[in-house]
Amino acid sequence: MATVIFYEKPGCLNNLLQKQILTAAGHQVIAKNLLTEAWHPEQLRSFFGHLPVQQWFNPNAPAITQGHLSPDTLNAQQAIRLMLDNPLLIRRPLMQIGERRWVGFDLAHVDAWLGLAGIDTQHAQESSPKLATQPACHHD
């Protein structure tokens, strides 16, 4: 099984469920606080791969829900700069295994990437309906 470095927002119930799923599947989870991590621009950028910039963002971040920020108008450099200034903007969780990095917790992707053998992912998804599509918390 894998050792997963799991960058989360402490207190986020979805992040808690995601860690429980990984642990139940036999993976070791090392949780880190996404909000207090000393991010370097290249390091943060490495989690997003080829995803469109708007998918890098936590859609429930106050700056987005209140209409102060529209991620679809930003380029990669602008997005990273904003995220470094306000980590609540970062979509969660960020996960790292060795040199591989990923953002979000899509159950099918995580299962294909790490393996969630023996986990009832249907039940987990029913417990948290947005788990498969959005890793963010409602109350950021």
- Provide the CATH number for the domain formed by 3-50+91-127 in this structure: 3.40.30.10
Pick the closest to residue 14 from 109, 118, 104 (CA basis): 104
Q: Sheet holding 28-33: strands in order across?
A: 28-33, 3-8, 94-97, 100-103
For this structure, is 12 an active site residue? yes
Q: What is the pLDDT of residue 71?
A: 96
Q: Which residues of the chain have pLDDT under 70?
A: 118, 120-140
pLDDT tens, position by position, 93-130: 999 999 999 999 988 888 888 888 767 655 555 555 45
Pick the catalytic residue from 12, 79, 89, 107: 12
Q: What is the pLDDT of residue 140?
A: 39
Distance CA 14, CA 131 (A): 7
Q: What is the pLDDT of residue 139?
A: 37
Query: Domain locations in the chain?
Result: 3-50+91-127
pTM over 0.75: yes
